[in-house]
Structure 1
Amino acid sequence: MVLPEMIFSQLRQVLTTEGIEHHREEDLVARLGVQAQDYRALFSGKEDMVRKVVQYDLQEQEREDKLLLKNAENPVEEIILLLQSGIRRLREVNPAYIIDLQQYYPAVWQMCLEHLNTYNYYLNLSIINNGVVQGYFRKDINLQLVTKIILEQFNMIVNPAFFPPDRYELGEVFRSVYMYYVRGICTDKGGKLAEEYFSKNNI
């Protein structure tokens, strides 16, 4: 029997890189090399599968973020590490995956937005607050407003009405938006560090 963790991991890879809607469940079962009864033991149908795989993906993102930030030396590095991670994730994701979620699985997409507005909100808020206290980010910024703007910019980036994926590479859009935003909230002290990181990592 294939372990559930393996099934979730493989489905995550297939759906995020190839999209959702052009895959039939029976084709996915065959591709995974699992028995139909093992698949049905995990998922009651396609929508249930998509919801659970997205939940798994969000949990994996949180785990990856913790590992990523573990060795960061300061809040500027933390923000830039998250920036790099966001660029990488968007470049690895097929735009069809995001569009399929928005069009065919609105409840699952809403779950993604709620995760963005809770987990991502408080993660960014905490990092920016620490950066202000330590003198890397400007003291005159409104923490809640700055964090909210960061998240709303992400919503704009993944909205095909603003950035059609056939015309814009989402990873590049993400990089362009956030690179200048990070510079804007930095003090001179933080700005020098940010420039070093940008140059060193070729962002």
Structure 2
Amino acid sequence: MSPSLRDTLLDEARHLFMREGIESQSLEQIINALDVSPATFREMFRNKADLVMQVTLYDIERQKREHHELFARVASPVGRLLSLLEMGIRDLRQVTAPSYFPDLVQHYPEAWEAGQQHLNSYSYPQLHGLLNDGVVQKQLRGDINIGLVSKIIIEQLNMMLNEQIFPSSRYNIAEVFRSVYLYYFRGLCTEEGIQAAATYFARM
């Protein structure tokens, strides 16, 4: 089966899940929504759990591609950090189904764990490197503990997605994300960093 069709289906499924949730739809409803024959679907995906896992891995690769393109455009460490923040807010605003993250956590633990592993093996080193560059270029405070701050940023994400702390029925996840990270990043910046980031802060 052609990779382009597979990627198209994965992207459509990603948007479908974010819009409608995962558990609210049967596999038959998902296949119908993707406008693909059951036979074609089963050539690519074993079952619903396999689809959810492949969507998760597809989305991780999409993010990596976007980050690569971003870093080619933006040289400033603070600019890169805040551009990553903007991307995160944009992605979370696409999640309109309150059940999306709870569905992942409760019903698809392997896919959720794949996302957690991505945070630890990719996002943490990425943040650590950007924070270090920001300190070296005097855009970020020189007294920050880079390893600890990197860990805090990752754990803040886990906190935001915790239904016990921010139930999706009461809180808009994109607004929580903005409120947590925007002010935290501002506090990490030197005066020079704040000036470099002024346009980002103004539009968030």
TM-score, reference length from structure 2: 0.93
Q: How does 1:10-25 map to 2 (within 5 A)?
A: 10-25=12-27
CA offsets, 1:103-145, max 9 Å, x none? 1111211111111111111111111111111111112111110
For structure 1, the 5+ residue unaligned runs are none
2:80 aligned residue: 78
RMSD of Structure 2 on Structure 1 (CA): 1.4
Q: How does 1:5-44 map to 2 (within 5 A)?
A: 5-44=7-46
Report the Cα offset of residue 73 of structure 1.
3.3
Identity of aligned residues (%): 42
Report the Cα offset of residue 194 of structure 1.
2.4
For structure 2, the 5+ residue unaligned runs are none
The whole-number CA distance in structure 1 between the counterparts of 2:24 and 2:183 is: 37
Report the Cα offset of residue 89 of structure 1.
1.1
User: Moved runs in structure 1, 4+ residues, more than 6 A?
Assistant: none
- Output the amino acid matched with 1:191: I
1:170 equivalent to 2:173? Answer yes
Number of residues of Structure 1 aligned to a counterpart in Structure 2: 201
CA offsets, 1:170-202, max 9 Å, x none? 111111111111111111211222234312xx2
The whole-number CA distance in structure 2 between the counterparts of 1:29 and 1:100 is: 19
Aligned to 2:144, what secondary structure does the other structure show?
coil
TM-score, reference length from structure 1: 0.94
Q: How does 1:1-203 map to 2 (within 5 A)?
A: 3-93=5-95, 94-199=97-202, 202-203=203-204
CA contact (8 A) 1:69 1:81 kept: no
The whole-number CA distance in structure 1 between the counterparts of 2:151 and 2:177 is: 16
The whole-number CA distance in structure 2 between the counterparts of 1:7 and 1:164 is: 30
- Output the amino acid matched with 2:141: R
CA contact (8 A) 1:125 1:143 kept: yes
The whole-number CA distance in structure 1 between the counterparts of 2:148 and 2:160 is: 18
